[in-house]
Chain A
């Protein structure tokens, strides 16, 4: 493995301040929807009423619009941000949990990455001592390590975003913490994500190259060998790539003829919407041929990794109660339903 310092072509200031400055810019740009409660805690400008469950998440910066892009009416109440690719510390998360503590309770959504889980567990321990009413949900929908991988070894990827939508709508509808958690957990179990990368990214604070690939290769999954049809291959056509990715996803969520699904193509940074639409088309056709209905589609950048080229394909199998929750109104900077 050779690593080299690349010359980054990014518009930056002091690397130390990237996270703080980007959040400042973001909350100024969308001031009618989001505000900074304190350094690195993004909240709704117009708070949800106190009698409803609050939805909070945490994660590193550098993956914009995730996660703060989905703070707003009908989705997240707060997003606690760390540094670039680094989870915020437990005390910062605790600060947010204290602020949003309420009788209705808080649902804390955590993506399965070592740093995020450590901070969340520590914050949950502290929250318990303080008597806060918080429940935690861990997303782990990545199937790149194989379908039989234990949950704890599966990463949480962009699937958290539709989960925010479903859980947020349930909370907005006034459901109890137990109900919101149950609905979200069921959604969590019925979604799966597979990622493909073509070129790596650079770490904006130190210029380090992250996951490099030869010019003529792509990688489905994350360097595991052949699991979930993945591994490194020469670059395939859009149709072939989509076919190789949607099939394991269908198995993973156990989608059958007559099932309703949501299909998302999430660009991770450098891949164009043009390419992503080609991918969506083929994946849709494969689902259609099996009698699986796509009632909701999304082709967009919802969780990125700097200028990495590639995308995540996310398939969510929907229960009857998930459908109206996905369609319910929401108003966040990067996901709006009217």
Chain B
């Protein structure tokens, strides 16, 4: 059974950075429909900081905390705080250097908890939470199949969640002011979150 450690984490963030960069224009385009049109730049800038720190990590708890701080230090706007909080929270939820599937699920759950402390958004509000929460919630039930399968289940749940934002009215950010006009548009943050989880699943199993 593969376990979650600093090396795997570094591969996951590296894969995520590549995928987010590839789709940055798509995210900005989605954000332009309802927001400032800068989400692609924002998520890439946050993940660049996160990945740089991840590549130098030797202690799991410490590196996750440093990754969170780096996102908030080197990037601006809500995206940097939310992504930063996610990794800070994961750091809170970690004991030891090598995690089994259940421990990995708890770590992600602690990450989600910290994000929810920063935003009152819940499922159905047309935000990144629509992808993040289903992804994290899908993990415990799939833990017994090992980490790769668990991360794939999370990625699938995130993708479904992101897709569901299309029919929603926004309750947060600039999109909130547009009322019904945002129906039919995907939320950029949810789509980039789904992209990140998909990359995490691929990155975890990537051969060194």
Contact = CB atoms under 8 A, between A and B. Distances in A.
Interface of A: 1, 3, 60, 82-92, 114-115, 118-119, 121-122, 145, 152-153, 203, 205-206, 208-210, 222-225
A60 B76 contact: yes
A115 B81 contact: yes
A60 B32 contact: no
17 contacts: A3-B37, A86-B36, A86-B38, A86-B42, A86-B78, A87-B77, A87-B78, A89-B76, A92-B73, A115-B78, A118-B85, A152-B120, A203-B38, A208-B32, A208-B37, A223-B178, A225-B179
Contacts of A203: 36-38
B69 interface: yes
B93 interface: no
Contacts of A89: 71-76, 80-81, 84
Interface string B52-71: 00000000000000000101
Interface residues of B, number: 35
Contact of B77 (A1, A60, A92): A60
A118 B36 contact: no
Nearest to B77: A86
B177 A222 contact: yes
Contacts of A1: 33-34, 178, 181-182, 185
A222 B179 CA distance: 10
B173 A114 contact: yes
Contacts of B6: none
Contacts of A118: 78, 81-82, 85, 118-119
Given A3-B32, A3-B37, A206-B38, A87 B179 contact: no
Contacts of B73: 89, 91-92
Nearest to B181: A1
B33 A82 contact: no
Contact of A205 (B38, B80, B179, B182): B38
Given A86-B76, A91-B69, A208-B32, A114 B119 contact: yes
A3 B31 CA distance: 10
A206 B34 CA distance: 15
A197 to B, nearest CB: 11
Contacts of B172: 114
Contacts of A222: 177
A196 B128 CA distance: 30
B76 A122 contact: no
Given A1-B178, A89-B76, A121-B118, A205 B41 contact: yes
B181 A223 contact: yes
Contact of A90 (B28, B81, B185): B81
Contacts of B34: 1
B114 to A, nearest CB: 10
A312 B111 CA distance: 39
A88 B77 CA distance: 6
Q: Identify which of A82, A118, A145 gathers the most chain B CB atoms within 10 Å of its CB.
A: A118
Given A1-B34, A1-B181, 8 more contacts: A1-B185, A60-B77, A86-B36, A89-B76, A114-B172, A115-B76, A203-B36, A205-B38
B33 A3 contact: yes
Contacts of A119: 72, 81
Given A82-B77, A206-B28, A223 B72 contact: no
